[in-house]
Structure 1
């Protein structure tokens, strides 16, 4: 079976936002909670059993909501994503396995995982990459079957608002059908090949120039190209939907 790298579609989360990351380290602000429920209609956000939905409906107050995460309670994957570097591919939506986690059968160790999102009130063309990491040797069959994408690798990066907006997902990725159209449609993940992964890592390394992450970013790029047998000097031009 051919193995791939993976992109995850994430609800926007500005919890824990700082100068060097766009969020994903706490509970969203009130306006983002409202947007994710009313406008984006994100499944976990609008689920009646979710704590954010209970807060939105007025069944609990903000203090109670904050206390849940302060006591290490689970709100959603997004609220801890840049603390744990752990993503989830979602659940089967139909068939005999409906409701079960989607197994990551085409993902293995030494794959690149990128986390993507759209800022509120922006179009799909502007979907950006806000974090990237190597799926390392700690990834196992249990993780794969559970639909989780995890890492303990040193090769993991989060991006500031400015950096993320320079890493537009659709510069790199194109759908097999209608490749000129930047449209995600169904599902929470997309597989992509090693050349696309190398293109992303090359741009990450260049974006990280002059920062504390510069050395590690270039090391990640070199390491990935080496283990995948890619000549880093012959990486083709970008051919994602926005470059067609």
Structure 2
């Protein structure tokens, strides 16, 4: 827009003529002096163009700029609100992490069906399933006991095999800073480092019921219902210790030992003080 030589009136300096302007500055010569102003802002409140046609065009430009400024301000406010909510969530998360009381049975064993035998290791996560009854029927189960000290044990049996033949397929620590109470979708992701998948030969030597016993029926190898169940921290340590022993002399032994060391540290367990397994298979 060419404004050179256009006549204007300023509230303070009176009538003048535009002698120069750029995208950011307009220079106006008044009766006794020249003044520079911010362009186009000065036209909004302090300066009036005599040419009505150009004045209308300039008014549109000012309106568009005003809308842009309002949009920028709105985005800034949205960003501030998002930051406030993020800070609120972060502080709440830190509080949960700091005030967490170590539960003696904060480990999980998952019943993997045929499909999960593959996806559990390709995606390194399992689901805690859904609620079967009540007002929350169909909603994901919240694995409320799981915390940063928890590991998830993956187990399965062949469809034509008895429950006592359930084998351990693998194990992983939950993802860093995972809090079961805050898990809305029921998915339990694995730690980026502490995860182990057993070979078929290794699984055959790791029967689940060697370690696990139902408190109400300690001699029975029955799962009954449910996608998962919690179990004793020391039992998980026994399982990890036996995986280390199973892999003795192999390249994978060191990783398994690092996993066990980390697990024991997170659960305040002294490896040397661990008792021997005493699951339902050994009690029968």
1:183 has 2:222 as partner:
yes
Query: 1:136 Cα shift?
Result: 2.9
Corresponding residue for 2:136?
97
Query: 1:199 Cα shift?
Result: 0.5
- Find the structure with the greater CA-based Rg: 2
Task: Give the alignment's Cα RMSD to 1 decimal.
Answer: 1.8
User: Matches of residues 8-47 of structure 1 in structure 2 within 5 Å?
Assistant: 8-13=110-115
- Give the whole-Å Cα distance in 2 for the aligned partners of 1:102 and 1:172: 25
- From the two aligned structures, give the one with the greater strand fraction: 2
- Give the whole-Å Cα distance in 2 for the aligned partners of 1:176 and 1:226: 26
Corresponding residue for 1:83?
122
Given the superposition, is the C-alpha separation of residues 167 and 5 from structure 1 closer, same or farther in structure 2, using an over 3 Å criterion?
Answer: same
1:202 has 2:241 as partner:
yes
- Give the whole-Å Cα distance in 1 for the aligned partners of 2:234 and 2:270: 10
User: Matches of residues 41-190 of structure 1 in structure 2 within 5 Å?
Assistant: 77-140=116-179, 144-190=183-229
Corresponding residue for 1:51?
none
Partners of 1:128 and 1:165 within 8 A in 2: yes
Gaps of 5+ in 1: 14-76
Q: Indicate the larger mover: 103-112 or 146-155.
A: 146-155
Corresponding residue for 1:222?
261
- Give the whole-Å Cα distance in 2 for the aligned partners of 1:92 and 1:121: 27
Q: Which runs of 4+ in 1 moved over 4 A?
A: 140-143
Corresponding residue for 1:7?
109
TM-score for the superposition, normalised by structure 2: 0.60
TM-score for the superposition, normalised by structure 1: 0.70
SS at 1:150 equivalent = strand
Given the superposition, is the C-alpha separation of residues 142 and 214 from structure 1 closer, same or farther in structure 2, using an over 3 Å criterion?
Answer: same
Corresponding residue for 1:74?
none
Query: 1:220 Cα shift?
Result: 1.0
Partners of 1:4 and 1:191 within 8 A in 2: yes
Partners of 1:143 and 1:149 within 8 A in 2: no
Query: 1:140 Cα shift?
Result: 4.5
